[in-house]
Copies of this chain bind each other. A is one copy, B any other.
């Protein structure tokens, strides 16, 4: 998705990032994290849960927010350092769902930003809400 050109150190500054979640993304998340909970990996297991099908790890939703913060927020002269995150998961994410993280700067303290981080699916339903604190470090740092 497009990188925003505007300087990020302004309350109200917005960035977004979208990604369609594949079965391969879920497998990679399981391998990278060690979270092999069969709710994410095993169709037969997942069929007997409240979701009736495999769902993505919550951290994959968190990852799409991280992508917006790490790729689309900083521009070429800064790098994003993740300080803290708070996330409430509202809806499950299935294979093939397209997640869009919509971020908006809500507070600025020098180079430290607080952002509202909402994540929607392709139907416009809220998958997760939350906040993040990041530090934008000048790049390159001599």
User: Which of A's residues lie within 8 Å of B, judged by CB?
Assistant: 17, 19, 24-26, 28-29, 31-37, 39-40, 48-50, 57-60, 62-64, 66-67, 69-71, 79-89, 137, 139-141
Contacts and interface: CB of A to CB of B under 8 A. Distances in A.
A34 B67 contact: yes
A39 to B, nearest CB: 5
Given A29-B63, A32-B63, A63-B59, A50 B83 contact: no
A89 B82 contact: yes
B62 A62 contact: yes
Contacts of A67: 33-36
Contact of A84 (B40, B88, B139): B88
B139 A49 contact: yes
12 contacts: A25-B33, A29-B29, A29-B63, A35-B66, A35-B70, A37-B71, A39-B79, A57-B63, A57-B82, A84-B88, A85-B86, A86-B87
B63 A34 contact: yes
Contacts of A37: 70-71, 79-80
B48 A141 contact: yes
